[in-house]
Chain A
Amino acid sequence: DIQMTQSPSSLSASVGDRVTITCQASRDIRNYLNWYQQKPGKPPKLLIYDASNLRTGVPSRFSGSGSGTDFTFTISTLQPEDFATYYCQQYDNLPYTFGQGTRLDIK
């Protein structure tokens, strides 16, 4: 199975900050990488697919980049509604696997 490792596991930041989360795959997954946001008690929501494509309706302050084994997810200017847990997910190979999540808290 492909292991996905996110860093950091948790992060404290303030409204207006720029935040970056990284995701590393245990082997080359090309650009087959998606990012989700999950708030407590709610299902995950897709934000970015294929490493860098913004899902329709997702604010442009969210972005993603990378290919191969190393990927980055960025929120350019944190808004109050962005405090949540973020997950990466690969689909290059079954079983689909997720990173362990990055919890983003208010500082």
Chain B
Amino acid sequence: EVQVLESGGGLVQPGGSLRLSCAASGFTFNDYAMNWVRQAPGEGLEWVSGITGRGHKTYYADSVKGRFTISRDNSKNTLYLQMNSLRADDTAVYYCAKELTAVGAFDPWGQGTPVTVSS
């Protein structure tokens, strides 16, 4: 079964850092682009960042560019999101999602890991 499972969320003060992880299983990890999508409390979905299968190309939403870094370790089937200079408006559930080849669709999604930025 294809699965992705996030971890690493929590409470952090404004200006702080956090690293999210996403463990993948059930598919050939390095064949697929991976993405992070977030959802603020009571709000809609916002794409955050994506990375190609081999990790050669990365992409970011303007709202996180320069503060967040996406990476992957294909030997560990794991995706990461390093989040620095966190702000209150980064508070959200962060989802990891596998991207279907050539379709730009996210499937499946993990259960999400909550990040709260507050003093």
Shortest CB distance B22–A (Å): 12
> Which chain A residues numbered 22 to 68 have a C-beta less than 8 Å away from chain B?
32, 34, 36, 38, 42-46, 49-50, 55
Number of residues of chain A lying within 8 A (CB) of chain B: 24
B111, closest chain A residue (CB): A43
Interface size class for chain B? 20 to 34
Chain A residue at minimal CB-CB distance from B47: A96
Number of A-B contacts (CB under 8 A): 64
Q: List 22 A-B contacts (CB under 8 A).
A: A36-B45, A36-B106, A38-B45, A43-B95, A43-B109, A43-B111, A44-B45, A44-B95, A46-B106, A46-B108, A49-B100, A49-B103, A55-B107, A89-B47, A94-B59, A95-B47, A95-B61, A98-B44, A98-B46, A98-B47, A100-B44, A101-B44
Residues in B lying within 8 Å of A, measured CB to CB:
35, 44-47, 50, 59-62, 95, 100, 103-112
